[in-house]
Amino acid sequence: MAGVERTLQRVDLGEIDYLDAIDAMAGWAAERRAGTAGNRLFLLSHPPVITYGQRTDPADLRRGLHEIPLVAVDRGGYATYHGPGQLVGYLIMDIRGQGAADVVRWLEDGLVSALRLLGFSTQRRATPPGASSLVGVWTPDHRKVASIGMRIRGGITSHGFALNIDPDLHAFEQFTVCGLPDVTMTSLRELAEQTGTPLPTDAAVRDAVTTALTESPHSGHETSSDIEV
């Protein structure tokens, strides 16, 4: 990675309660800041939970939330769902000297590349001036397959992405996803059924994401930001 330590250590975890992961993430970020650990990518999943960032309109959380826990978080962005069948990636990296927006583009491009390795055609989308953020990974017909929400403090990133492999897509109907009232969420399972592409295993997705993110460069100037999308 241009301007950033190229090594990204992958740490494979299983299903972890969301609040437990948030507590652990604070420690991971502190270790990176102190230099006692390198750049790390934590890959895991969560039990069902709806999380919402600092930009979320309370009206976005209005529908049927009694069935799924609801948690406010310190990342950028709006509301999203985590649950079984979804790969969550938390990136704890030192990006001092890099641009916050550049890091998000790097992550988008890396996920697009990972899905290409798995046989899926996806893209990132530019957000028009004044429009709601379109950060994330999308199909060519504008369905969203991965969401991104990051926090950058003192040049250290936390939080990251959620990639839908085979989650319960009905869970996304209980709230306004990512602040986009008309967004349609999709999954690799759905795309595989529509295109005849084999559905990759969780292990294969983890391998593809790791490969893509360790080969995709980025550059820029760091700022403290909460970024979603």
- Which residues are known catalytic residues? 178
CA distance 199 to 205: 10
Amino acid at 25: M
Longest dimension (CA), the chain: 47
- What 3-state class would DSSP assign to 4? coil
A 10 A CB-CB count for 47 gives 13
CA distance 216 to 26: 26
Structure tokens at 121: 């055609």
Q: At what angle do helices 202-215 and 100-117 cross, to 10 degrees?
A: 130
Using the 8-state DSSP alphabet, how is residue 36 labeled?
S
CA distance 35 to 182: 43
